[in-house]
Structure formats: C-alpha cells, structure tokens
Amino acid sequence: MDALLGPARLVRAARDVAQVLLADLPERWRHTIGVARRAEQVRGTVGPAEGDVLEAAAWLHDIGYAAALHDTGFHPLDGARHLAATGWPDRIAGLVGHHSGAFCVAEVRGLAGELGRFPREVSAVSDALTYADQTVGPNGRGMTFAQRVADMLDRHGPTSPNALAHPRRAPLLGAAVERVERRLAVVLTA
C-alpha cells in the first residue's frame, strides 16, 4: 500500500483490496458493497476532507473475515492487523479495528489489550461507519437498526460474544445511529 495515495485512489485501493480478500465470501462482499454505498450516501455528515477516509474504511471494515487473514478469529482485529502490516494509515486500521463498537466484543473475547493497540476514534466518521454497517444486512440489503440488531443476535446465538456484549454495545451503536440521522437531517435541510 502506497502511503502517499491521494484521496480518490485511497477509496479505489480499499475497494480493490476488499474485493480480492472477500472473493470467496460472496454474502460478505454483497454486505460490504452495501455498506460502502451507505457510507457514500452519508458522506455529507462528515467533514469535506474526510469522506474518502469514511468510504475507504467502509470497503475495508470486514476484510478480517477473509480466511487468509484469520488469526485471532475476531474479524475487526484481524482486519486492522492486516492493514497495519500492509502499510495502510493508522487511522484506517483503527476505524476498521473499532468499527461498530468492536471494543465491547473484544473485552468479552479477552482481546481488549490487542485491539487497544489501534487508535479508537470517536467522531462523525466513526459514527457514519457504524451507521452504514448497522443499517445494511448480511447480503447488502438495507435494514433498520432494530432489524439489524435482531438479525445479528439471531445469527450469532444467545451465548455468542456478540450477544454477551450486546447490553453494553447496543446503546452505543444506537446513539451513533441517532447522531448520524440528526446530522443527515441538517444536511438535507441545508
């Protein structure tokens, strides 16, 4: 990864990396396309210089599911590790590592220390990435946040780390979704 990539090339490079890594996971790739499209739709909620960072992180957020990247088995962390190892900016690796409240699940899985090596930003960009991920289902279909949470709990099961982290994580995700919706309302009426 060329650290000197310009903004537009950053998004293209992110998409290309994700497409290769997720080639054997068509459902995950369709989800990724949906999340990237959603991120594009909410670009207006982040600063003008940050839209490309948001879109790049959206393309890359689930690359940790790729078999080639499997290490800890916790996809946000495995994705962030790969990005750091291949020269992507710390900010992108941090956004991927911490997407959708991953630190809550990392604590349940005993991986909080490892994940904590990556910067966890709390910003309009991290909110928008969470919003995009939490309003698009496994196959790329649009969902409400409530539908997405219910589907996640159903798929992962009641004793999964995701379910155990849910009481702490869900309010954080819901608050991020609400912040993005408020910002979108401002953008749309401006």
Binding site for Fe ion (CB under 5 A): 62, 133
Of residues 46 and 136, the one with the C-beta less far from Fe ion: 136
Residue closer to Fe ion, measured from CB, 62 or 107: 62
CB of 34 or CB of 51, closer to Fe ion: 34
Cα separation, 101 vs 7, in Å, equals 26
CB of 10 to Fe ion, least distance (A): 19
- For Fe ion, the closer of residues 46 and 173 by Cβ is 173
Q: Which two tokens stand for residue 190?
A: 């401006």
Distances (CA, A) of 120 to 53, 60, 97, 116: 15, 16, 8, 8
CB of 99 to Fe ion, least distance (A): 7
Instruction: Name the minimum Å distance from CB 58 to Fe ion.
Output: 9
Contact of 131 with 177, CB cutoff 8 Å: yes
- Pick from 93, 111, 2, 110: which is nearest to 53 by CA? 93
Burial class (CB in 10 A: 0-12, 13-18, 19+), 170: middle
- Here the tokens at position 39 are 């991120």
Structure-block tokens of residue 92 = 């992108």
The label of the residue with tokens 């991290």 reads 126
**Nearest distance, CB of residue 52 and Fe ion, angstroms:** 19
Nearest residue (CB) to Fe ion, 5 versus 59: 59
- What's the min distance (Å) between Cβ of 133 and Fe ion? 4
Task: Output the smallest distance, CB 171 to Fe ion, in A.
Answer: 19
DSSP state, residue 48: T
CB 153 within 8 A of CB 166: yes
Name which of 59 and 88 has its Cβ closer to Fe ion.
59
